[in-house]
C-alpha cells in the first residue's frame, strides 16, 4: 500500500487518497470550496510529491468530487510551475478519462507553455502540438474560439520565443476584432524593450491604446517604464542628430532631461488621467529610469531631480517613498546638490522629507508611515541621533502612526562600531535619545523598557573604554 509519508505536508495528505476504498473524509469533501482551499495549500514545491501519488498504479481519485475538478487543479499546479510537458500529459489523461476539457483547462495549458518559454524555447514541435490540440478540441468538444486571456497568453508565448510573424498575425487579428487590451500592449512593449528598440515605438503603442480607449492598467505602465529604462534615446544614433548640433557633453545632459521628462509625462497620464494607483514596484521602476538617466556618461543627477520626481510627479502617493528611502539605486547614483557638489543618500532623503512636509501642509495629505520608518532606519544606520529624534517628534506632533522605536534602538546599537568609535560619546547620545523618547506620550512605556536595556548594554560598551 502506498505510504502517505511521500506527500510531506498536511495539505498533501488531505489532498489525495491512494485507493477508492479509502475516500477523503466526509468533512474534507464537504464542498468544492474547501477542496480548492486544500489544493491551494499545495505549492509548486510540493508538486513532485503530488505527482508521485498521481502516478502510482493504485491511485484513484476519491469519488466524492467530480474528476474534472481534480484534473483542473493538477493542471493548474503544473501550469504555475511552468511544467508544460507534464500539464499536457495530465490534460490528455483527463480526456482519456472521459472528462470534457474546459476553457479554464485550456488556459492553464497555454499558461504552462508561456512560463516554460520564459526559461527556454519550447521548440517548434511542442508549439505545433499545442496549436493542433487546441484546434482539435475546439472541433471535437465544441469549445469556443480562444478567449482574450488565452490570446494574450499565446501572444506572450510567441514574443518570448521570437516568433514575431505569428505574434503580429495574432495581434493584428485582435486589433481587427477590437479584442486587444492593455495586457496585449504590455507583451508587445516588453518585446520591443528586449530588442532594444527606440522608445518612440513603445510610445506609439501607448498612443494607439489611448486612441482606441483601451482601459489602462498598472502592468502596462510597468512595461512602459521598463522600456523607458532600456530603450536608446531618440538622438543617440549619431552626433549629427543631437538637438541644435549639441556637443557630446550637452547631449548626455539632454538625454537625462529627456528621460526625466518622459517619466513625468507617463506619470501624469497614468496617475492623473487614468487614476492608476502605483505600488512600491512602480516606485522602484521609476527610480531605475532616474538611475539610468544619472548613469549616462557619468552625468550627475541632482537632489532637485529626485525632489521633482517625488513631490511633483508622485504627488500624494507617499507609499512609493518607501522604495526611495530604502532602495539601493540611490546609493548607485552620482548624487549632487544644486551646486554640483557630491551629497550622500541621507542628505538627499532628508531634503525629500522637508519638501514632503511642505507639500503635506499645502494639500492636507499626511505622509505615510512606511517611508518615515525607512528614513528613521537610514538616519539610525548613519548614527544621526538628531534626525532620528526629530522624526519621532514630528510623527507625534502630526499624530501619524507610531514609528518602530525598538527597531531604531537595535539599529543604533548596530551602528556603534562604524559610526561612533567613541563609546562615551555614543553613550551620552543614546541616553539623550531615550530621554527625548520618554517625553513623547505614546512612547513612554517603550522608552522606559529601552532605558532598562540600555543600562545593561552601556556597561558592556563602556568596558572597552581604556582607563584614563
Find out whether 75 and 91 touch, Cβ atoms under 8 Å.
yes
How many Cα atoms sit within 13 Å of 192 on the Cβ side? 26
Mean pLDDT of 202-215: 93
- Which residue's entry shows cell 502617493? 317
Measured CA to CA in angstroms, residue 23 lies from 27, 273, 304, 339 at distances of: 11, 56, 67, 76
Find out whether 409 and 448 touch, Cβ atoms under 8 Å.
no
The reported pLDDT for the residue numbered 333 is 53
In a domain, 458, yes or no: yes
Do 384 and 335 fall within a single domain? Answer: no
In a domain, 37, yes or no: no
Percent of the chain topping pLDDT 70: 67
In a domain, 204, yes or no: yes
- Given 311, 336, 364, the domain boundary residue is 364
Do 355 and 444 fall within a single domain? Answer: no
Quick: pLDDT tens for 436-450: 888 888 888 888 888
Mean pLDDT of 327-340: 55
Whether pLDDT at 247 is above 90:
no
Domain count across the chain: 3
Do 354 and 395 fall within a single domain? Answer: no
Measured CA to CA in angstroms, residue 193 lies from 159, 187, 188, 297, 329 at distances of: 11, 10, 9, 21, 21
Q: How confident is the model at residue 330 (pLDDT cuts 50, 70, 90)?
A: low
Do 314 and 271 fall within a single domain? Answer: yes
User: What residue spans of 215-247 are helical by DSSP H?
Assistant: 218-230
Do 315 and 408 fall within a single domain? Answer: no
Rounded to the nearest integer, the mean pLDDT of the chain is 75
Mean pLDDT of 316-334: 51
| Residue 128 CB partners (closer than 8 Å, separation 6+) | none
Find out whether 160 and 114 touch, Cβ atoms under 8 Å.
yes
Find out whether 131 and 103 touch, Cβ atoms under 8 Å.
no
The reported pLDDT for the residue numbered 242 is 42
Quick: pLDDT tens for 135-149: 999 999 999 999 999
Whether pLDDT at 467 is above 70:
no
In a domain, 101, yes or no: no
Do 286 and 358 fall within a single domain? Answer: yes
Q: Give whichever of 69-78, 178-187, 229-238 has the largest mean pLDDT.
A: 178-187
Q: Report the alpha-carbon distance of residue 306 to residue 329 in Å, rounded.
A: 12
Do 345 and 274 fall within a single domain? Answer: yes
Find out whether 324 and 371 touch, Cβ atoms under 8 Å.
yes
Q: Name the CA radius of gyration of the chain, rounded.
A: 29
Mean pLDDT of 367-381: 76
Residue, of 123 and 278, whose pLDDT is higher:
123
The reported pLDDT for the residue numbered 9 is 40
Do 303 and 373 fall within a single domain? Answer: no
- Given 305, 334, 364, the domain boundary residue is 364
Find out whether 225 and 232 touch, Cβ atoms under 8 Å.
no
The reported pLDDT for the residue numbered 222 is 92
Look up residue 344 and give its three cell numbers. Answer: 550622500
In a domain, 241, yes or no: no
Mean pLDDT of 372-380: 80
Quick: pLDDT tens for 297-319: 444 556 566 656 655 555 544 44
Q: Report the alpha-carbon distance of residue 242 to residue 238 in Å, rounded.
A: 7
Q: How confident is the model at residue 386 (pLDDT cuts 50, 70, 90)?
A: confident
| Residue 335 CB partners (closer than 8 Å, separation 6+) | 300, 301, 302, 303, 306, 342, 343, 344, 345, 348
Do 266 and 359 fall within a single domain? Answer: yes
Q: Report the alpha-carbon distance of residue 464 to residue 416 in Å, rounded.
A: 12
Quick: pLDDT tens for 404-453: 788 788 877 776 555 566 777 788 888 888 888 888 888 888 888 888 88
Quick: pLDDT tens for 276-302: 877 767 776 776 777 665 555 444 556
In a domain, 10, yes or no: no
- Which residue's entry shows cell 514545491? 45
In a domain, 34, yes or no: no
Q: Report the alpha-carbon distance of residue 2 to residue 42 in Å, rounded.
A: 19
- Following DSSP, what letter does each residue of 388-456 receive, concatenated? HHHHHHHHHHTT-PPP-HHHHHHHHHHTHHHH---HHHHHHHHHHHHHHHHTSGGGHHHHHHHHHHHHH
Q: How confident is the model at residue 352 (pLDDT cuts 50, 70, 90)?
A: confident
- Given 364, 390, 418, the domain boundary residue is 364
- Report phi then psi at 336, rounded to 5: -145, 160
The reported pLDDT for the residue numbered 19 is 34
Measured CA to CA in angstroms, residue 84 lies from 53, 81, 136, 309, 444 at distances of: 19, 9, 18, 43, 58
Do 226 and 283 fall within a single domain? Answer: no
Find out whether 117 and 154 touch, Cβ atoms under 8 Å.
no
Look up residue 257 and give its three cell numbers. Answer: 532631461
In a domain, 4, yes or no: no
The reported pLDDT for the residue numbered 254 is 73
Percent of the chain topping pLDDT 90: 27
Q: Report the alpha-carbon distance of residue 324 to residue 308 in Å, rounded.
A: 13
Give the range of the structural domain holding residue 356, as residue numbers without chain letter.
260-364
Q: Report the alpha-carbon distance of residue 380 to residue 402 in Å, rounded.
A: 16
Whether pLDDT at 17 is above 60:
no
Do 315 and 411 fall within a single domain? Answer: no
| Residue 265 CB partners (closer than 8 Å, separation 6+) | none
Q: Report the alpha-carbon distance of residue 313 to residue 315 in Å, rounded.
A: 6
DSSP 310: I
The reported pLDDT for the residue numbered 15 is 45
| Residue 199 CB partners (closer than 8 Å, separation 6+) | 227, 228, 231, 232, 233, 234, 262
Do 317 and 336 fall within a single domain? Answer: yes
Amino acid at each position: 500500500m502506498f505510504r502517505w509519508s511521500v506527500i510531506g505536508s498536511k495539505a498533501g495528505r488531505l489532498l489525495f487518497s491512494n485507493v477508492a476504498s479509502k475516500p477523503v473524509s466526509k468533512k474534507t469533501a464537504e464542498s468544492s470550496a474547501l477542496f480548492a482551499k486544500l489544493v491551494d495549500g499545495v505549492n509548486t514545491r510540493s508538486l513532485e510529491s503530488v505527482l508521485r501519488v498521481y502516478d502510482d498504479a493504485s491511485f484513484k481519485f476519491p469519488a466524492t468530487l467530480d474528476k474534472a475538478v481534480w484534473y483542473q487543479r493538477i493542471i493548474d499546479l503544473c501550469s504555475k510551475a511552468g511544467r508544460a510537458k507534464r500539464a499536457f500529459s495530465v490534460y490528455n489523461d483527463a480526456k482519456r478519462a472521459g472528462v470534457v476539457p474546459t476553457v479554464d483547462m485550456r488556459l492553464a495549458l497555454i499558461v504552462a507553455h508561456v512560463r516554460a518559454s520564459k526559461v527556454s524555447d519550447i521548440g517548434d514541435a511542442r508549439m505545433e502540438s499545442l496549436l493542433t490540440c487546441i484546434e482539435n478540441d475546439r472541433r471535437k468538444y465544441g469549445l469556443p474560439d480562444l478567449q482574450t486571456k488565452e490570446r494574450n497568453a499565446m501572444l506572450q508565448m510567441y514574443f518570448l520565443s521570437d516568433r514575431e510573424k505569428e505574434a503580429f498575425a495574432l495581434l493584428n487579428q485582435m486589433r481587427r476584432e477590437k479584442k486587444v487590451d492593455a495586457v496585449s500592449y504590455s507583451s508587445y512593449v516588453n518585446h520591443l524593450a528586449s530588442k532594444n528598440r527606440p522608445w518612440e515605438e513603445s510610445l506609439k503603442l501607448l498612443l494607439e491604446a489611448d486612441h482606441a480607449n483601451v482601459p489602462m492598467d498598472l502592468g502596462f505602465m510597468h512595461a512602459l517604464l521598463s522600456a523607458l529604462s532600456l530603450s536608446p534615446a531618440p538622438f543617440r544614433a549619431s552626433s549629427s542628430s543631437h538637438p541644435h548640433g549639441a556637443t557630446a557633453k550637452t547631449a548626455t545632459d539632454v538625454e537625462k532631461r529627456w528621460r526625466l521628462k518622459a517619466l513625468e509625462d507617463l506619470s501624469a497620464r497614468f496617475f492623473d488621467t487614468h487614476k492608476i494607483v502605483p505600488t512600491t514596484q512602480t516606485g522602484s521602476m521609476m527610480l531605475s529610469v532616474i538611475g539610468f538617466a544619472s548613469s549616462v556618461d557619468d552625468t550627475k543627477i541632482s537632489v532637485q531631480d529626485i525632489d521633482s520626481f517625488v513631490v511633483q510627479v508622485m504627488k500624494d502617493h507617499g507609499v512609493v517613498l518607501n522604495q526611495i528611502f530604502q532602495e539601493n539605486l540611490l546609493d548607485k547614483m552620482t548624487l549632487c546638490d544644486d551646486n554640483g557638489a557630491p551629497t550622500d543618500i541621507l542628505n538627499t532623503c532628508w531634503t525629500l522629507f522637508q519638501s514632503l512636509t511642505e507639500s503635506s501642509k499645502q494639500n492636507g495629505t499626511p505622509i505615510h508611515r512606511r517611508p518615515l520608518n525607512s528614513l528613521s532606519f537610514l538616519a539610525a544606520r548613519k548614527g544621526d541621533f538628531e534626525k532620528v529624534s526629530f522624526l519621532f517628534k514630528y510623527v507625534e506632533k502630526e499624530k501619524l502612526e507610531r514609528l518602530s522605536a525598538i527597531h531604531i534602538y537595535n539599529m543604533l546599537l548596530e551602528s556603534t562600531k562604524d559610526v561612533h568609535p567613541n563609546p562615551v560619546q555614543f553613550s551620552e547620545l543614546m541616553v539623550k535619545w531615550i530621554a527625548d523618547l520618554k517625553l513623547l506620550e505614546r512612547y513612554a512605556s517603550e522608552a522606559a523598557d529601552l532605558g532598562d536595556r540600555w543600562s545593561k548594554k552601556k556597561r558592556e560598551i563602556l568596558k572597552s573604554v581604556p582607563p584614563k
